[in-house]
Each structure stands twice: as C-alpha cells, then as structure tokens.
Amino acid sequence: MADARNFRKYLEELSGNNYLKKKVKSLEKKNESLEKEMKELKELLKQIKTNIPKALPKQKGRKPRPMIRIIEDELAKQKDGKMKVTDIVKMLKRKNIKSKTQNLYSSVAASLANSPKFEKIGKGEYRLKSKASAAPAKKKVVKIATKGKSKS
C-alpha cells in the first residue's frame, strides 16, 4: 500500500497535478481575502453615501441683482430720497461694483427705468417709490350723459 501511495504522489508530481492543486488552494485563499475586503469597502461606501447631502440643482431663472439693492439702500439714506444717474454711477464705482456692460451709465439707467421700485422725477433723476405712491390711484367714476328722456 505504501508503494501505491508513493507511486500516486510520484505520478502527481510528474504530471504537475500536485502543483496545480497547491496553486488552486492559494488562489482560493486569496479570493476569500479579496471578498472580505470587498465587503468592508461596500460597507464604507454605504456609510459615505448616507453622510453626503444631496447636491442641490442650480437656480433657474434670473439671478439676483445686487446693483439694484445697493442703489435702493443708497437712495433710502439720502435726505430727499432722490439721486441723479451720474451720481449713482460714481457711487457704484466707489463701491467697486462690477457690471458685464462696458458702459455702466446705460446699465444703471436701464435698471432704474425697468425696476418698479423707482420712479423718474426728472431728466436722469430717480427716487424710490414710497408706499403711498405705490398703491394704485382710485378710479374716477364718470357719468355719461345720454340723450332722451330719463326714467323717473
């Protein structure tokens, strides 16, 4: 029997079967260790995913206009509440407000003209609309005279 076992081992060594068995065992061990690492990494990814807040979408529509708000604040500080466009442009330049336009004057004038917060009181002169003037004016009722006899 011992000869048969030795003969079997001898045949396995000659055919390379023994070497392949050892190689398969080492690869299986390596595979198990890699699977353990994968499980650990998956758990870490789950933890990371739960901790990260969702990204917010970009704002749609028009972006806020800080220039109008700055002008509004400056006009509110004025005693009489009115300023010329040239003075507003000088004030904006002092505050280092940047605009994409090459001509800041036209940009400011257009912003003031298009904004419902301001009213034009003279050539190149604007002021903040007060709450009283912002309310719609009362409509006058006009009676139309009709020809003919009235029913009375």
Question: What is the average pLDDT value for the chain, to the nearest integer?
Answer: 78
pLDDT for residue 143 is more than 70 = no
pLDDT tens readout for residues 5-43: 777 777 777 776 777 788 888 999 999 999 999 999 999
* Helical ranges in 52-150 per DSSP H: 66-77, 85-94, 104-114, 131-134
pLDDT at 78: 83
CA–CA separation, 134 and 126 (whole Å): 15
Lowest-pLDDT choice from 79-88, 89-98, 142-151: 142-151
SS (H, E, C) 25-68: HHHHHHHHHHHHHHHHHHHHHHHHHHHCCCCCCCCCCCCCCHHH
